[in-house]
Amino acid sequence: MAQHTALPRTAALSPSRASDFMQCPLLYRFRTIDRLPEPPSPAAARGTLVHAVLERLFDVPAPQRTVEHARTLIGPQWDALVEAEPELAALVAEGPDAMRQWVADAAVLVERWFELEDPTRLEPAERELYVEVEVDGLTLRGYVDRLDVAPGGELRVVDYKTGRSPSQLFEAKALFQMKFYALVLWRTRGVVPRMLQLVYLGNSELVRYEPEEHDLLATERKVRALWAAIERAASDGDWRPSPSRLCDWCSFRDLCPAHGGIAPPLPERAQELALDPARSGSVEDDD
């Protein structure tokens, strides 16, 4: 019987996994190699719900994109999310009062969006757009919440955030994700996006950035350097922690040696798993 040699898979990186490694190599290891379970959080589930509502709002004609209509979408979209991921139901306490409060909390975030943007004046070219490009043997991929294209062809990349706008200390992390998307769009469409826009619903703030070609070239160099560093860590088995203020929100703090924990032994094939494009390029939690 003839044997078939498996074709080499192109390396891949998503902004989520790139951000994990920049924040802490051990976090990258836990999420990419070990794939340790992380309990769903109410904040993350609420964010997913709000994203779904804002995406579906554009299904109706512009005059119907009202606050009232957006509110009617919250319940059905939550039901759809729970049907896809039943474990999310446990995030809402039992009883009609708890459900009403859950919907009300999501509605507050949705309503804040109407204070920042007018959906009756927007016609997104794309929503939840999957983007991908190969750069020197490395595939970059991710999901863009919204892409607006002006009549003249200018691109605006929009990302919804249901938390508060970060301090200057953490702003670079959010902008890196947006520049990552801008780099992929530039390489696939030949156009540098005119505007990168982060919509923070937690405190009703817009953060805008106008990238230039040199920004995206610098981002491309950074992504290549990141992948090279990930390859070195995989080869050496060196996934050391990088303590910071973000440790307070880490799901794996109890396992972290920097906080008195003991990390589990590296699994077999750890090097292969660290570089597996299905793992390093995972876009499931890009938001």
Helix (H, G, I), strand (E, B) or coil at 96: helix
282 part of a folded domain: no
91 DSSP assignment: G
143 part of a folded domain: no
Mean pLDDT over 171-196 rounds to 94
Both structure tokens of 25: 């190599």
- Per this entry, what is the length of the chain? 287
**What domain count does the chain have?**
1
Q: Outline where 24-95 has alpha helix (H).
A: 25-28, 42-57, 67-84
Question: What are the CA-CA distances from residue 209 to residues 83, 174, 243 (Å)?
Answer: 37, 11, 29
> Look-up: residue for tokens 């699994």?
267
Per-chain mean pLDDT for the chain: 92
Identify whether the C-beta of residue 201 lies closer than 8 Å to the C-beta of residue 39: no
Kindly report, residue by residue over 229-264, the tens digit of the pLDDT: 999 999 999 999 999 988 998 999 999 999 999 999
Range of the structural domain that residue 47 is part of: 42-121
> Look-up: residue for tokens 């902008």?
175
CB-CB neighbours of 125 under 10 Å: 12
Q: Which residue has the higher pLDDT, 133 or 41?
A: 133
Both structure tokens of 31: 């999420």
Kindly report, residue by residue over 206-237, the tens digit of the pLDDT: 999 999 999 999 999 999 999 999 999 999 99
Confidence class for position 198, pLDDT limits 50, 70, 90 = very high
100 part of a folded domain: yes
28 part of a folded domain: no
71 part of a folded domain: yes
Residue 2 has pLDDT above 60, yes or no: no
113 part of a folded domain: yes
Dihedral of the alpha carbons of 186, 20, 281, 79, in degrees to the nearest 10 = -100
106 part of a folded domain: yes
14 part of a folded domain: no
Burial code (b: 16+ CB inside 10 Å, e: under 16) for 273-282 equals bbbbbebbbb
- Does the global pTM surpass 0.85? yes
